[in-house]
Amino acid sequence: MVHNTKGTSRRDILKAAGTAAATTGLMGMASASEGNTVEVNVGFTGKSGRRAAASAAANVTREFAFDAMTIEVNENAIQGLQRRGDVRYVEANGTMHALAPKGGNGGSGGTMAAQQLPWGVDRVDAEVAHANGYTGAGADIAILDTGIDSNHPDLVDNLGTGKAFTKAKGNFAENWDDDNDHGTHCAGSAGAVNNGEGVVGVSTEATLHAVKVLGKRGSGSFSDIAAGVEWTADQGYDVGSMSLGASSGSQTLADACQYAVDKGTFLVGAAGNSGPCTDCVGYPAAYDTVMAVGSTTSSDGLSSFSSTGPEVEIAAPGSNIYSTIPGGSYDTFSGTSMATPHVAGAAGLLAATGSSNTQIRSQLTSTAEDIGLASNESGSGLLDAAAAVGVDSSDN
């Protein structure tokens, strides 16, 4: 992906516009209804900014390590905060969503006895990497999503520590369990166990961590998602996979992503399912700190739903992907959400070799396969997991 280094980039403009829109909305609320309490994210500079935000708060919901906090505040106090030089931004605590394609998901569900190699895992030559001893053992991959089924037989042996920033609703063994299905499906593509049943993931022995930032309906607040990214970084996990997003960004989440990358975590995000479109990559994938992933079909075409734009760095299989879902079952879903964990799994293979987050990003793009798509559709090309770890393969 080519970045604009000679001035303000489109991404910077969009980030500024998103923050401005959030600020304008808050100011509008103040004029429309006096004295209401609203939840906002406040970014500040130094101790004085922190004190100002805390003093204005009716309640401090969350404090971050990167000079931001989530507060409940009387809307009449917002303009005063915005005027302060030590307050970087005030934004409404909006939401992002699990990314599903237009028209919904489809396919046959159910349980499976014999193990199969999903076409996407095969297409990126992950099984070639496995055959040569690259399985991701020792790497940590965080799935920031709706949770992971804590008892799925094709995942349980690879599950590590989970964390819920929004708790599962229902009778679940863990509060980070998947009460939707999206996160479990993503987890299977990234790291389903090679155990002779169900499916196999790109990284068969990496440890998967459920970071539940999206609720039962597949949505989560900016603050919860940012906290999940921060927690992932603080655990020292190698990879953070985000199959979630929105058309406009959050400065708090942007701060969290920068925090994570600075601490050594490789972040990968779904480009979005707004296609066919041009220049429409969503957030957080559009941030410089996140590798944006587009989606391809089994015939190496661009998936019709895949968002495109200069932020796309790589493509991976995302149409009709068979993977794990809660209840020990399997189903076929489509979306850039499904493409993203393929990249996360490949990043796990590299992390297990000792590669840093910057080395992982460089290696994935430099070894990607040119499949004839435009750069705004596939970036450097199609993910090649075998080539990324230095294994030669002629499997096309």
145 is catalytic: yes
Q: What is the DSSP string of 246-286?
A: BSS--HHHHHHHHHHHHTT-EEEEE--S--S-SS---BTTT
Looking at residue 134, what DSSP letter applies?
-
SS (H, E, C) 169-237: CCCCCCCCCCCCCHHHHHHHHHHCCCCCCCECCCCCCCEEEEEECCCCCCEEEHHHHHHHHHHHHHCCC
The first and second tokens of residue 129, run together, are: 């990497």
Distance of CA 279 to the CA centre of its chain: 19
Catalytic position from the list 182, 185, 209, 342: 182
Catalytic position from the list 203, 223, 250, 337: 337
Distance of CA 174 to the CA centre of its chain: 21
Who's near 13: CB < 8 A, 6+ residues apart? none
Pairing, β 207-212 against β 312-317: unpaired
Indicate the burial class of 278 (C-beta count within 10 angstroms; 0-12, 13-18, 19 or more). Answer: exposed
Catalytic position from the list 67, 125, 145, 179: 145
* Cβ count within 10 A of residue 17: 12
Which contiguous run of DSSP H or E holds residue 50?
helix 46-56
Which of 78, 71, 76, 73 is closest to 37 using CA atoms? 73
Cβ atoms of residues 252 and 284 within 8 Å: no
The C-alpha R_g of the chain, in whole angstroms, comes to: 20
Cβ atoms of residues 204 and 191 within 8 Å: yes
The first and second tokens of residue 270, run together, are: 């779904």
Distance set, CA 371 to CA 120, 266, 375 (Å): 15, 25, 10
97 is catalytic: no
Tokens 């076409």 sit on residue: 119
Catalytically annotated residues: 145, 182, 337
